[in-house]
Amino acid sequence: MKVSFSILSLLILLTPFSDAKPARPPQSDFSLDVTIVTGEHSRDSNSVTAILTVSSGALVYEQTFAGARSGRRQPVKKEFKLGKEDQAALIGLLNKGNLMVFRTISEPPQQKGSSRYFELSIHSRLGGKESTVSIDASPHAANLKTDSLYRASVRVIEELYKIINRTDPDITMPQLIN
């Protein structure tokens, strides 16, 4: 009887561990939201906003228009399948480019009157950590081409458009700096 009680006690103690599941891979809570606004401040001000959202094995692309003559263009919304390799590549670019930080670069247009601009925001979540990179500048801010944060941000955006272009080659990445 004493042996049976010991075995029963041991089984009760080990039962919670028998159903234990392995830890989820770190990319399981991965999400990425990229917003790109390109526009012009002038008498006929206008802008185009592209929002690229990654979550749950999908990449959603949305494009909207605002300002002068925006009513003539219909908004676009398309969803693309995101494979595990794509997700791993994006996570690698975020980590390699040191984009898991909170940083802002602001170099607004300096000219008076009409001017062109772009705004870029990358919000990511991975392994319980959130980060946001924001860049707003003029397309003439050529000095940004050498900035590591800008270059790493562009690499992530290029990867997203590469994924989109496998299915829809007509969607193009906006040019940020001339």
Give the model confidence (pLDDT) of 4-22 as tens digits.
444 444 444 444 444 444 4
Cα(51)–Cα(79) distance, rounded to whole angstroms?
12
Q: Average per-residue pLDDT in the chain?
A: 84
Judge whether residue 41 has pLDDT over 50: yes
Average pLDDT over residues 39-64: 90
Percentage of residues of the chain with pLDDT beyond 90: 60
Considering the domain boundaries, does residue 37 fall inside one? yes
Confidence of residue 3 (pLDDT cuts 50, 70, 90): very low
| Most distant CA atoms of the chain, gap in Å | 93
Considering the domain boundaries, does residue 38 fall inside one? yes
Cα(164)–Cα(59) distance, rounded to whole angstroms?
8
Higher-scoring residue by pLDDT: 99, 69: 99
Considering the domain boundaries, does residue 16 fall inside one? no
Residue listed under structure tokens 């094995």? 57
Considering the domain boundaries, does residue 13 fall inside one? no
Higher-scoring residue by pLDDT: 125, 72: 125
Write down the pLDDT at residue 28. 62
Write down the pLDDT at residue 26. 47
Considering the domain boundaries, does residue 3 fall inside one? no
Residue of 136, 176, 140 lying closest to 158 (CA atoms): 176
Provide the number of structural domains found in the chain: 1
Considering the domain boundaries, does residue 176 fall inside one? no
CATH number of the domain that 48 lies in?
3.30.1560.10
Judge whether residue 69 has pLDDT over 80: no
Average pLDDT over residues 56-68: 90
Considering the domain boundaries, does residue 85 fall inside one? yes
Cα(58)–Cα(78) distance, rounded to whole angstroms?
10
Considering the domain boundaries, does residue 9 fall inside one? no
Write down the pLDDT at residue 108. 80
Domain of 37, in residue numbers: 26-167
pLDDT tens digits along 108-141: 877 776 788 999 999 999 989 999 999 999 998 8
